Amino acid sequence: MTEDDAAPAAASESNSRNLLMRVLVAAVLIPLAVAIAYAGGWLWTALVTAAAIGLFVEWLAVVGLAGAVALAIRGGVALALGGICFAVGRIDAALIVLAIGFVAVGSTAPDRRGWAAAGFCYAAAAEIASVLLRLDPVKGFAALIFLLLIVWVTDSGGYFAGRGIGGPKLWPQVSPKKTWAGAVGGFAASLAVACGFAAFDLGRTVPLLVAAAILSVASQLGDLFESAVKRRFGVKDSSHIIPGHGGLMDRLDGFVAAVVLAALFGFLRGGADGVGRGLMVW
């Protein structure tokens, strides 16, 4: 085998190992996430809060503030206190604590204050939306699973359709590997999720299809947004905390965008204690 032949073979083997690692990690993390989502309550809030703190810390690292330990602690404490308030049912107190945290982070960052504040807002929005979506005692779990499945199949469908079909790139300046075929494949997979929910009488078909379509696009835009931030600062992965997947930002970028949009829409229709119903019931 010549050197020219060896390079593609090595790359193919590396891609196969990476795919295997992604599948194995997903096989562990997905059932765990679903089980905690089903349990809801303080357990789900604790998971969401830990993820939000991780997102904030990774964001600081991406934008060049990895050494700002005091800033990370201030933001992390605010997110943790917000999570505790959510866990005891004090939504109002949680929002106040997070607002104070936003001001504290934005005003005390040693550098790039706008980016630091944006990172805290990103993490806090993910925390608030994730808690409120599951809070609904009637439709919270169904709404959360609906959202998670859409994000997961959009990502997986895009990955396999993009690799299998190829073709024109979606936005090569930001994400060189993403293709239009992958975007369409992920979008189509999300519609299949909506049809499945409708088949099991978990919602009306047309509204679920519309919701799935919008959330799938939001998930893909969230992915591109995170890629744009990383490219702005010359970073490949937000971290390496999840084998085969990179960091929390790499794994949750689409989820953050989709859950914030879903929670906002559900809140407008169902109020703070009916976000799940607002998303799922028409």
Helix (H) or strand (E) holding 169: strand 169-171
d(CA 52, CA 78): 11
Average pLDDT score over residue span 235-250: 80
User: Following DSSP, what letter does each residue of 3-30 receive, concatenated?
Assistant: HHHHHHHHHHHHHHHHHHHHHHHHHHHH
Euclidean distance between CA atoms 213 and 196, whole angstroms? 14
Residue 15 binned pLDDT confidence (cut-offs 50, 70, 90): low
pTM confidence score: 0.91
Over residues 137-163, the pLDDT tens digits come to 999 999 999 999 999 999 988 888 888
| Cα distance between residue 141 and residue 139, in whole Å | 6
Residue-averaged pLDDT of the chain: 91
157-189 tens-digit pLDDT: 888 888 888 889 988 888 888 899 999 999 999
Residue 117 or residue 28, greater confidence: 117
- CA-only gyration radius of the chain, Å: 19
pLDDT value for 7: 47
DSSP for 15-79 reads HHHHHHHHHHHHHHHHHHHHHHHHH-HHHHHHHHHHHHHHHHHHHHHHTT-TT-HHHHHHHHHHH
Please compute the mean of the pLDDT values over residues 121-127 and round it to a whole number. 98
12 band by pLDDT with thresholds 50, 70 and 90: low
- Are residues 261 and 218 in contact, defined by beta-carbon separation less than 8 angstroms? yes
